[in-house]
Amino acid sequence: MSAATVTAPRTLSSRVSPLATVRHTLTLAWRTLVQIKHNPMELIDLSVQPIMFVLLFTYVFGGQMAGGHPTAYLQYALPGIIAQNALFATLNTGVGLNTDITKGVFDRLRALPISRMSPLAGRIAADTVKQVWSMGMLLAVGIIIGFRVKTDVAGVAGALLLLVVMSFAVSWVSVLIGVLVSAPEKVQIFGFATIFPMSFSSSAFVNVHTMPGWMQAWAKVNPVSFLANATRGLINGGAVATPVAQSLISAVIVAVVFAPLAVRALRRRI
Amino acid sequence: MTYAIQAEGLVKHFGDTVALDGVDLAARAGSVLGVLGPNGAGKTTAVRILATLLRPDAGRATVDGYDVVRDAHQVRQLIGLTGQYASVDEMLTGTENLVMIGRLLEMPRREAKARAAELLERFELWDARDRAAKTYSGGMRRRLDLAASLVGRPSVLFLDEPTTGLDPHARGGLWDTVRGLVDDGVTVLLTTQYLEEADQLADEIAVIDRGKVIAHGTPDELKSQVGGQVLQVRPVDTRDRETVAGLVSMVVGQDIQIEGDLVTAPVSDPGVLPKVVRHLDDAGVLVDELALRRSSLDEVFLALTGHRAEEPKPEPELEGSPA
């Protein structure tokens, strides 16, 4: 007599159905979101930091940038701040994944009869929700202190969608780093060291024509510029087609390069 | 005889390191198999293979007849795993952790909640159920981890060093829990560095050292394999120590050891005990302690490996992790 009959007679399934995969992913996304309840620091990360950035750029740099009219600069910079914030937010994925691996949560999940992709998919789904939250936060704070949407709801929705797509692509870089480094803090360090210079050497905060020639050359092909220009076009009006296409192409390239690397690294680590 | 866990010739390399070098293990259904060995012996690697987390480079293993590589999904429906380091989500409460597992195991919400409540009560975590696990003590976290591995009512449970780092009280509590599970018919594979733990819980023990099983059998078989028993005599008056040593040495005819006021000697014939008593009586020596006990597993380990089992010390790195 086997132990299985002693404890609980059971019929075993031989695979995970697609519907079950969706359920597992949603359960694990819920898990990532409910964590916020017990870690208020994360809420500060998601809300206070973006707000601080908006206020800082408007009231500290704004006057100097726009000849004494801070809100005029806010109108220019907010789409850039939103783009930069979206990139920073992708670090959540790598940090969370690394924490799960180093703490052993990942092993527990993988020893369960659940879809193999759901732990990662659940995390990315939850991080997308966080993305949308902090984008909304930025826009709301901007509007309170004088930012105006010059296009329409469709433009804002388009910008959100584009940012979510770009974030999804970049989160594969985050996953790769999260798998490779030994501690969650290192994801942060690595992320800041790349995203900071990338976003400041782009059109996110200034017109690139004010930069020296060599930097202009870089800024014009910097994917963050594409994203900032597209977001600006969709919210403030102006050129949309070209920067959106450039952004999408960048997103595809990033995903095609980094998704396989990340998946391979993950398979190897665990 | 039905084996709930069976492994044959498991081999696993990490780069140049050989973690497992042909390991055979077998646990009868409803029994406790203790896998005993020092840090880095390969215990965790073996558990990770059996729990479908790692593919062996060679060899095969089955759980309730299902192959851990080919039928991994079926195996995962049968097993529970409690890792060497508590693997609950620290940011979730006790309840949330258990409900999450229940939901992942396809329980309806109501059932997942009921099962979580039942386990929280059973593991004395009810009062802490709504606190994030990061606020739990080490013992509480370990209990929650064990509860998490039981949500799905597994028939085979892997406990990888479940009591490392726990105080003696918490350890005793966990032992009782394991005994209760075995009474319910669960098969348990338990790795440990604590010789006493294997002796207390295991029906059979496999001793692993440097990726190989160097001995296996029941605790009693292992002890007799390395030479029987130990005679201990402690005189009331320490000054009688030399007299006692002389008497014992005469009766036993072997090396004796004196530690403090305790005289010990290895013995293979239990008949020496009455002789020693008679001689002590003739010499008029009063004793506090006079006992014939089996060799401890510590002594067994020393005899088998040539080195003492190392004192367990908490290590940040997972044993056998390739990183």
Q: How much helix, strand and coil, in percent to the nearest 5, is found in chain B?
A: 40, 30, 35
Mean pLDDT confidence for B291-296:
75
First-to-last alpha carbon distance for chain A, in angstroms, is: 34
pTM of the model as a whole? 0.81
Q: In chain A, which residue's Cα lies nearest the Cα of B135?
A: A38
A 168-197 residues inside an 8 A Cβ radius of B: 182
> Parallel, antiparallel, or unpaired for β B287-294 and B257-259?
unpaired
Mean pLDDT confidence for B12-19:
91
Return the structure tokens found at B83: 């890792």
Return the structure tokens found at A149: 């949407």
Note whether B323 contacts A269, CB cutoff 8 Å: yes
What is the b/e burial string over A24-42, where b = at least 16 CB atoms within 10 angstroms of the residue's CB? Answer: bbbbbbbbbbbbbebeeeb
The nearest CA of chain B is from the CA of A178 a distance in Å of 13
> pLDDT value at position A185?
92
The yes-or-no verdict on residue A10 having pLDDT over 60 is: yes
CA dihedral of residues B65, B68, B73, B76 (deg, nearest 10): 80
Contact in structure between B20 and B44 (CB atoms under 8 Å): no
Return the structure tokens found at A141: 């704070």
The answer, for A114 touching chain B at a CB cutoff of 8 Å, is yes
Element (H, E) at A166: helix A153-180
3-class DSSP state for residue A191? helix
Mean pLDDT confidence for A167-171:
94
Mutation site for B-interface testing, chosen from A13, A23, A108 by largest number of B Cβ within 10 Å: A108
The answer, for A112 touching chain B at a CB cutoff of 8 Å, is yes
Contact in structure between B48 and B56 (CB atoms under 8 Å): no
3-class DSSP state for residue B265? strand
Domain borders along chain A are 18-269
Chain B residue numbers with beta carbons less than 8 Å from the beta carbon of A92 are none
Identify which has the larger pLDDT, A11 or A79.
A79
Name B293's bridge partners.
Answer: B230
Element (H, E) at B33: strand B32-36
Give the Cα separation of B177 and B172 in Å (integer): 9
Model pLDDT for residues B1-14, shown as the tens digit of each residue? 689 999 999 999 99
Return the structure tokens found at A10: 């059971």
Return the structure tokens found at A86: 């979206």
> Angle at the Cα of A97 (from A92 to A102), degrees rounded to 5?
130
- Which band of pLDDT confidence, cut at 50, 70 and 90, is reported for residue B313? very low
Amino acid found at B151: V
Q: Looking at the partner chain, which of B30, B92, B149 has a beta carbon nearest the beta carbon of A34?
A: B92
Name B26's bridge partners.
Answer: B6
The answer, for B96 touching chain A at a CB cutoff of 8 Å, is yes
Contact in structure between A202 and A225 (CB atoms under 8 Å): yes
Residue A24: closest CA among B103, B134, B308: B103
Q: Note the ipTM here.
A: 0.85
Return all residues near B44 (Cβ < 8 A) that are at least 6 apart: B84, B160, B161, B191, B318, B319, B320
Give the Cα separation of A244 and A238 in Å (integer): 12
Residue B244: closest CA among B186, B283, B302: B283
Give the Cα separation of B32 and B204 in Å (integer): 7
- Which band of pLDDT confidence, cut at 50, 70 and 90, is reported for residue B322? very low
Mean pLDDT confidence for B57-74:
95
Note whether B89 contacts A31, CB cutoff 8 Å: yes
Return all residues near B125 (Cβ < 8 A) that are at least 6 apart: B94, B136, B140, B143, B144, B147
Window from A22-36, B219-233, B294-308 with minimum mean pLDDT: B294-308
Return all residues near B120 (Cβ < 8 A) that are at least 6 apart: B94, B95, B98, B126, B129, B147
| Displacement of CA B161 from its chain's centroid (Å) | 7
The yes-or-no verdict on residue B88 having pLDDT over 70 is: yes
- Which band of pLDDT confidence, cut at 50, 70 and 90, is reported for residue B228? low
Model pLDDT for residues B186-226, shown as the tens digit of each residue? 999 999 988 888 888 999 999 998 899 988 999 888 777 66
Chain B residue numbers with beta carbons less than 8 Å from the beta carbon of A3 are 4, 29-30, 64, 155-156, 185-187
Residue reference for tokens 């059109």: A203
The yes-or-no verdict on residue B312 having pLDDT over 80 is: no
Q: How much helix, strand and coil, in percent to the nearest 5, is found in chain A?
A: 80, 0, 20
The yes-or-no verdict on residue B321 having pLDDT over 70 is: no
Give the Cα separation of B107 and B99 in Å (integer): 9
DSSP state of A12: P
- Residue by residue, DSSP assigns B62-99 as EETTEETTTTHHHHHHHEEEE-SS--S-TTSBHHHHHH
> pLDDT value at position B314?
44
Mean pLDDT confidence for A28-37:
91
Residue B160: closest CA among B27, B47, B54: B47
Which domains are assigned to chain B?
3-224 (3.40.50.300), 228-294 (3.30.70.790)
Contact in structure between A51 and A132 (CB atoms under 8 Å): no
If you average pLDDT over each of B60-74, B209-223, B247-261, which comes out highest?
Answer: B60-74
Mean predicted lDDT score pLDDT of chain A? 90
Identify which has the larger pLDDT, A24 or B194.
A24
B 13-52 residues inside an 8 A Cβ radius of A: 29-30, 48, 51-52
Residue reference for tokens 């726990």: B166
Note whether B53 contacts A14, CB cutoff 8 Å: no
Note whether B154 contacts A182, CB cutoff 8 Å: no
Q: Looking at the partner chain, which of A103, A107, A269 has a beta carbon nearest the beta carbon of B90?
A: A103
Strand runs labelled E in chain A: none
The yes-or-no verdict on residue B303 having pLDDT over 90 is: no
> Parallel, antiparallel, or unpaired for β B58-63 and B66-67?
antiparallel
User: Could you tell me where the DSSP H helices lie in chain B?
Assistant: 43-50, 72-78, 94-104, 109-122, 138-150, 168-183, 195-201, 219-225, 241-252, 272-283, 297-305
Return the structure tokens found at B248: 């014992």
- Which band of pLDDT confidence, cut at 50, 70 and 90, is reported for residue B86? low
- Burial class from Cβ neighbours inside 10 Å (0-12, 13-18, 19+) for residue A154 reads exposed
The yes-or-no verdict on residue B52 having pLDDT over 80 is: yes
Order of strands, edge to edge, in the sheet holding B262-267?
A: B257-259, B262-267, B229-235, B287-294
CA dihedral of residues B132, B133, B137, B140 (deg, nearest 10): 120
